[in-house]
Amino acid sequence: MEDTFIIKKEERSQCTLELPPMVAESLNIKGKKDCTVKFGTKDLLVTLQENQKIPRNNLVISSLCMKELSIPDFPQYQITMNNNELLIGPYIGILIAKSNRSLKRKKRRLNKYVEEYPLFSGAILAFSLEGVDPVNQVIYGLMYNPKIHRWVEGVYPYPGSVFRRISIPKRFKKHFQEQIGNNLFNSTYFSKWTMYQILKKNPKLVPHLPITKLYRRPSDLIQFLKKHKRAFLKPVHGLKGRNIKEFEERNDDYLVRFRKDGTNYIEYIPKEKIEPYLEMHLKPKQNLIQQKINIIFTEKKAVDFRLFVLKDQFGGWKCLGWVGREGIQGSVVSNRSSGGKIRGGDELLERILGRKKKDLAKLKEKVFSLAYQASIQMEQSDKNFGYFAIDMAIDTNHHIWIIEMNHRSPNDGLPLYVNNYRLFQEIKTHNMLYAKYLCGF
């Protein structure tokens, strides 16, 4: 754990920063007369003064400097040198709501982000899109005060990095990237089709990807079914297993399975009517045709796994853990939002395979390794991703399949359904550690 510092304000009309000689030496700025100090996106040239009387964990900053940089004095800070600038921080933003009203409603939820505050420390600002003032480059929001363990309303400068937890309009995304560079993480959305195209560039991942085509016209699905007999039709931009249909070609008709409003449905479409049926229900390039995998079922319930893969304080990917998902009988999806149940990942793997623990450990290791490789591969697209929730399945031959990679708003709370609070908290903490890394710490 890095050293943290308390900021003491001193009334002065000059921009000065006093620090202990030992600290100056550790930063390799001993004897320097001045230095650029940076907090978030603000920077200022200040006069440096070494003072042996200052406690080792204190920084004394002039009131003028505090005002110019808009530094609150209640967080516990770290300091580091980066490109000849002295950074005070980390200063992390969490974009968690669209309106200030919604932000205040979510106030109690914010504490889960700072339960491990000593591991990252710094200024933690929760804010909404409504609170952003692009003209003056300030943000109304709630900043965490570790002294009283409360969130303090105020107007603050732009942070050094932002963790996006809601969808944002393109103009805001562009604005943030202009101000904080590539430090807005999980900022770019990709569709299921884009994901497939990027992953299939890696020859090692191709055997683990269901064959997938972009639906353009009815003949695409008809030809696909002639070859594979069964297929899923999935919205390119879908979430939570919604609007997924399973098609099966039979002798005289097509069987269509889907789930809607909590109920499983089956339709039988005569072959001569399949084209008008598809034209009525589907738009070109809005759905994927995906090979149906013979995944393992338990009591006619679809089973798959969700893996949580996040970046750590060094900017590297790490698979933190997993949960299992078990759909309801007859459903084509396993999502909890469609009635599915969450199970412990290890528990469900042992239940569906019933193999020796040594064999299960090897299979689990392979699943985790593939999730790790897939995360690295997605990064080849030159976007800043820090968190993937990856859905994977195992077929009746014990082959592993990558079904989907979620990054828009992954549900961190799934581990809580199996009382795995440790994994839940690790997810929250790793998000903050990566945001700290982006700030330069």
Q: What pLDDT does 117 receive? A: 97
Q: What pLDDT does 380 receive? A: 66
The phi and psi torsions of 11 (rounded to 5 degrees) equal: -65, 110
Q: What pLDDT does 247 receive? A: 93
Amino acid at the residue 233: L
Please tell me the total number of residues recorded for the chain in this structure.
441
Instruction: Going residue by residue through the chain, which has 441 residues, state the pLDDT in tens, using 9 for 90 and above.
Output: 578 999 999 999 899 999 999 999 999 999 899 999 999 999 999 999 999 999 999 999 999 999 999 999 999 999 999 989 999 999 999 999 999 999 999 998 999 999 999 999 999 999 999 999 999 999 999 999 999 999 999 999 999 999 999 888 889 999 998 999 989 988 778 889 999 999 999 999 999 999 999 999 999 999 999 999 999 999 988 776 678 899 999 888 999 988 888 788 899 999 999 999 999 888 899 999 999 988 887 767 788 999 999 999 999 999 999 999 988 765 555 555 555 789 999 999 998 888 777 889 999 999 999 999 999 999 865 678 999 999 999 998 999 999 999 987 788 999 999 999 999 999 999 999 999 999 999
Strand order in the sheet with 287-291: 212-214, 287-291, 230-235, 245-249, 253-260, 263-270
Q: Take residue 323 and report the two structure tokens written for it.
A: 């949960």
- State how far the Cα of 234 lies from the Cα of 242, in Å rounded to an integer: 8
Q: What pLDDT does 381 receive? A: 58
Cite the beta strand spans of 161-203 per DSSP E.
161-164, 184-185
Q: What pLDDT does 240 receive? A: 66
- State how far the Cα of 118 lies from the Cα of 42, in Å rounded to an integer: 24
pTM of the full predicted structure?
A: 0.90
- State how far the Cα of 121 lies from the Cα of 2, in Å rounded to an integer: 9
